[in-house]
Amino acid sequence: MKTFKLISLDVLEDQHEEIRPRNIPLLDGLIINREDDQNRWLLEAYLDKSYEKYFQVLKEENEQVMLQGKITKESNQPATFMASITNINTIGEHINVLFLSTLVDRKKGEIERTLKTLIEEGYQGDELLDEFKDRV
């Protein structure tokens, strides 16, 4: 396994037929390439406790969420992940959110074009996510 610093984290949200990034300010973060046969990554986001309800709702409502994260340094291009929230833990005045994810191995422009096409085709919510996973 290889461990890296998670520098930034965005949740890609479906808002009024557009995919928009919601920046989640990190207090700290790690990303671990599990190097398993399913190409899974473990992301840990250490956050202010004010985000607990937001991530609890995401965990309850969505099987998977789409994330973008910058690894190691701010100047790197963000990597895109399809992720499931596995745990949300309270640590004093903070929380950590653990995601089990798969790296989407495409460039940002290709992902945005695919999402835009799906939205134009009328996909929304869980249907949008399912169709996106099928096409990617």
Q: Domain boundaries in the chain?
A: 2-106
Q: pTM value?
A: 0.76
The per-residue pLDDT for 103 is 85
What's the confidence (pLDDT) of residue 85? 97
Tell me what pLDDT residue 45 has. Answer: 98
Best CA proximity match to 127, nearest among 71, 75, 64 = 64
pLDDT tens column, 24-40: 999 999 999 988 888 89
pLDDT at 91: 95
Q: What is the DSSP letter of 106?
A: S
The answer, yes or no, to whether residue 71 has pLDDT greater than 90, is: yes
**Inter-residue contact 26 to 78 (CB < 8 Å):** no
pLDDT at 123 over 60: yes
pLDDT for res 105: 65
Distances (CA, A) of 61 to 17, 29, 31, 41, 126: 18, 24, 24, 22, 9
CB 33 within 8 A of CB 46: no
Q: Which residue has better confidence, 15 or 85?
A: 85
Q: Phi/psi of residue 122, each to 5°?
A: 95, 5
Q: Which CATH architecture has domain 2-106?
A: Roll (2.30)
